[in-house]
Structure 1
C-alpha cells in the first residue's frame, strides 16, 4: 500500500529539490527517500527506480520552464519577446541549477512526445512569427535559438565565462542582439 502523502508528483518535486541542492547526478531513490524521510522501498509504489525518478524530474523541469517562457512571452513581440524568452531560461537555470541540468536529459520518443518539450518548440515558433521567418525555416531557426540560448546558459552555469572580461552580462546582451539581427534578416531557403 502506498505511503500516505507520497505521490509521483511529490517524489518528482523532492528529486528536483535534491538536484538543485546537490546536482542532477545525486538524484537517486535512496537519496530522495532520505530527503522525504522514508525508506527507499516506500518509493517503489510510485517509481520503477532511479532512472524513472530522473525522468520525472526532467519532465517537471520542462513543464516549469515552459510555464515561465509562456509568461515571459505574453504581450511581447520581436526583440522584446526574444530577450524575455531567453531570460526566462537563464533565470530558471540560476534559480534551479539541478532542474535545468535535468531538462537536458534524453527522453525516449514516446515520453518526449508527451512532455512539454513540444510546448518549448511552439513558444519558439511564436517568436519566429514576429520576425516573419518562413514556416519552411522554422526547424532551423528553432534549433539556432535553442542551441544559442541553452549553450550560453550552460556554459555560464559551468563557470565558462568567469575567467575573463567583459562580464557575461555584456556578452548575453550581445548574443541576444546578434540573434535578433539574424532573425530579422533570415536567409531565404
Structure 2
C-alpha cells in the first residue's frame, strides 16, 4: 500500500498536537488522528510506528518547546528574576499548549535517547538556575524538584478550574514563587 499524497509524519504529528491541546493526551488515539487527517487508521503506519511512538514524539516535542520557552525567558536574567521569568514561561506554555504540556510530563524512557537527552537538558537548565544560590548538589536537586512540583501543581489546579476566587492568578504565582525563594535562602544558611 502506498502512502497517501499529502499525508506525512509532520502532518500526523501536528494533528496529534492539535488533538492533545483540544482534548488532552488521552484524546490522541490513532483512530482520532486518522479521522482528523481524513484517512483510514492503517494509512498512518506508513509514517509512524504506532500510538506509543507518536506519544513519545509528542513528549520529546513538548519537552523541547518547554525548554525553549523557559530558557528564552531566563536569558540575561539572574537569580530571583530568572526564577520568576522561568515560572511565568512554564505557566504560559501550559496555558498555550495544554496537551503538549501534558505530553512533556512523561518520565523519560531509558530506551529512548532523544527523550533522555531533552529530559537531562531540562534538569541541567533548572539546576543551573539554582547555581547563584550556592546550594550543594543535593539541595539544588531538591530545589529543582520543589520548583517543578510548585509549577506543575499550580498549572494542574488552574487547568482543572481549581481557582474560583476572583484574584489575579499571576499575582498568586508571583507570591508563590517569592515564598519558594524565601525557602531557598533559608536553605543557604
TM range (shorter): 0.7 to 0.9
How many residues are treated as equivalent by the alignment?
187
1:69–1:123 CA contact under 8 A, matched in 2: no
Question: Would the aligned equivalents of 1:125 and 1:142 in 2 still touch at CA under 8 Å?
Answer: yes
Shift of the alpha carbon at 1:88?
A: 1.0
Counterparts of 1:2 and 1:132, CA distance in 2: 56
- The question of whether the paired residues in 2 share the 8 Å contact of 1:58 and 1:104 is answered with yes
Q: CA deviation at 1:51?
A: 2.3
Moved over 6 A (4+): none
Shift in CA distance, 4/123, structure 1 to aligned 2, threshold 3 Å: farther
Deviations 1:107-133 (A, max 9, x none): 422327534111211111121012222
Map residues 6-155 of structure 1 onto 2, 5 A cutoff.
Answer: 6-111=7-112, 114-155=116-157
- Separation (CA, whole Å) in 1 of partners of 2:42 and 2:103: 24
Counterparts in 2 of 1:118 and 1:77: CA distance versus 1, 3 Å: same
Q: Is the 8 A contact 2:108 2:116 kept in 1?
A: no
RMSD value, Cα? 2.0
Q: Which residue of 2 aligns with 1:161?
A: 163
TM-score by length of 1: 0.88
Return 5+ residue gaps in structure 2 as ranges: none
> Residues of 1 paired with 2:18 and 2:67: CA distance?
19
Deviation at 1:94, TM superposition (A): 0.8
